[in-house]
Amino acid sequence: MENQPTGSPPLRIVVIGGVAGGASAATRARRADACAEIVVLEKGQYVSFANCGLPYHLSGEIESRDDLLVTTAELFWKRFRIDVRTGHEVTRIDRDGCFVEGTDHSSGKSFRIPYDRLILSTGSAPVSPPFMQPPCENVRHLWTLPDMDAVISQLRDHAVKRAVIIGAGFVGLEVVEQLAHVGIRVALVERGDQVLKPLDRHLARIIERDMADRGVSLHLSADVTGLRRDGDRATAVELADGTVLETDLVVVGAGVRPRVDLAVAAGLPVGPSGGLVVDRQMRTEDPKIYAVGDMVECHHGVLDRPLRIPLAGPANRAGRIAGTHAALGESQPMGSVLGTSVVRVFDLTAACTGMSEAALDANGIAHRSVIIAAGHHAGYYPGAETMQLKVVYSPTDGKLLGAQGVGGQGVDKRIDVIATAMHFGGTIHDLAQLDLAYAPPFASAKDPVHMAAFVAENDLESHPGIVAPGIDLAGFQVVDVRNPRELVDLPLEGAISIPLDELADRWQELDPNLPTITVCHSGKRGHVAACWLRGKGWRDVRNLTGGMAIRMLERES
């Protein structure tokens, strides 16, 4: 432990940037060393605010703007004796001399501050597509408190009736929801072919269908080519396919880029994904300089390599580690990150952890997956809401590689459980054995996590196996065990219709020598049918995971 010698001057820790990572680092350093001199240099006017909460103030769901201020410079000093200097932009790091230089924008004067330890938390900046130049007063990002104030000013002063949101990530969907709640007609433009890229397409389709049903105009695989303008206001968004979306407000969420220019100018290396290279104690190549948050690469728990993952949770945890190590010279290492995320879109919740199938395919990682439909608590207890839960795992040992959920209540809980198991290197067999809390208002005795694990175990053990929802059914004997009334709304051409409750009397109508796939609406009855046929001697019989509910969405993709 690198304690300061008795009588030596206190350790000086300088933090560049606040919000999640920097503020966490500074306060943790103070708790670790009561004597250290800690200075936080923040370019903006707010050292710590809840940027994840900004969309929810647009509609008034979060009523008070002050509630978004996590803490202030005054409180940092009063409670922690941390010297926070807002409006101070650092423009140069001198590693040899161990000092930083910059400009105090409130006075226009330059400053130079020495450091013993330096913690970088410069974060990321929203991507500004070319169409944002020259700027329009009603075309905005939603990244900072001033951004939010500007959007609210538009809503208040210009009687906004139509809005275009560009970018269908987490923030974009939150803004769609909030503006729709206050009666604004919303169009959502996304250059990719789905919303929420971390999800696989068939689950993303559930969110898209719900938004469309609520009147949101969706434009996927769409590129913005320009804006129509009237003076300094945008009046319409032009798309590459010729579509013109008239609008009173445009909110742009086209991704973020790490703010690493200051670090790069100081000679600190950047990794393949664009983030600053750090070790598990958040140290850069220079042992006196740490970095945290959106600007760094973290170890990804599935890919087993560094990756930039701009999320608030990892930023806060990294700040705690950097603050501890900067103050004491030792700390616990930063854990692997899985990109665990959750978003509410109207009455639906979407959450994920680890890797999607699409991401695993892109990285050449072998995998299997199952999809189940289940209530968030016991079906006989009033109010059970259905979720679709997908688990992705290794085909060799069942190691968990990712999970996704879309539905009503309880999705976040299941994804958090699976993320915890993944943190400890868990498998589907571990999920199947978890001892989870049960009472009818909260869960089922066989939780959705258990059910997904059971199906995955059946798949690995071929008891029976499963097939992906988008499989080409040509060449298979397809047995549809849904009831006749279900076939009216969602027919499956070429399938042999035998309702499950008639299968025990009619199974001999089928050819046991043909490769067979059983199908129902969600996969539950199909599994029972596949087990029955397997027990009757079928050598090649498998169940369609997710059933027709997911196949329908997969085929739409």
- Rounded CA-CA distance 275/473 in Å is 44
Provide the pLDDT for residue 276.
98
- Rounded CA-CA distance 3/10 in Å is 10
Tell me the pLDDT tens digit for each residue of 375-422.
Answer: 999 999 999 999 999 999 999 999 999 999 999 999 999 999 999 999
Residue 7 pLDDT greater than 80, yes or no: no
Beta strands in 173-330 (DSSP E): 185-190, 217-220, 224-230, 233-239, 244-246, 249-252, 256-258, 289-291, 298-300, 305-307
Percent of the chain with pLDDT over 90: 93
Tell me the pLDDT tens digit for each residue of 278-309.
Answer: 999 999 999 999 999 999 999 999 999 999 99
Residue 2 pLDDT greater than 50, yes or no: no
Provide the pLDDT for residue 47.
87
Out of 41-50, 195-204, 515-524, least confident range: 41-50
Provide the pLDDT for residue 313.
93
State the pLDDT confidence band at 204, using cuts at 50, 70 and 90. Answer: very high
Residue 291 has what DSSP assignment? Answer: E
For residue 441, the one-letter residue type is P
Tell me the pLDDT tens digit for each residue of 326-353.
Answer: 999 999 999 999 999 999 999 999 999 9
With 0-12 / 13-18 / 19 or more C-beta atoms within 10 angstroms meaning exposed / middle / buried, residue 53 is middle
Q: How many CB atoms lie within 10 A of CB 439?
A: 11
With 0-12 / 13-18 / 19 or more C-beta atoms within 10 angstroms meaning exposed / middle / buried, residue 470 is middle
- Rounded CA-CA distance 99/19 in Å is 22
| pLDDT (mean) for 251-266 | 96
Q: Are the CB atoms for 298 and 304 separated by under 8 Å?
A: no
Specify the pTM: 0.94
Tell me the pLDDT tens digit for each residue of 478-524.
Answer: 999 999 999 998 999 999 999 999 999 999 999 999 999 999 999 99
| pLDDT (mean) for 530-555 | 92
Using alpha carbons only, give the angle 264, 354, 128 rounded to the nearest 5 degrees.
Answer: 45
Any residues with CB less than 8 A from the CB of 74 and at least 6 apart, and which? none
Provide the pLDDT for residue 557.
57
**Domains of the chain, CATH where assigned:** 12-124+257-328 (3.50.50.60), 130-254 (3.50.50.60), 347-461 (3.50.50.60), 466-556 (3.40.250.10)
Q: Are the CB atoms for 340 and 353 separated by under 8 Å?
A: yes
- Rounded CA-CA distance 300/339 in Å is 8
Residue 546 pLDDT greater than 80, yes or no: yes
With 0-12 / 13-18 / 19 or more C-beta atoms within 10 angstroms meaning exposed / middle / buried, residue 6 is exposed
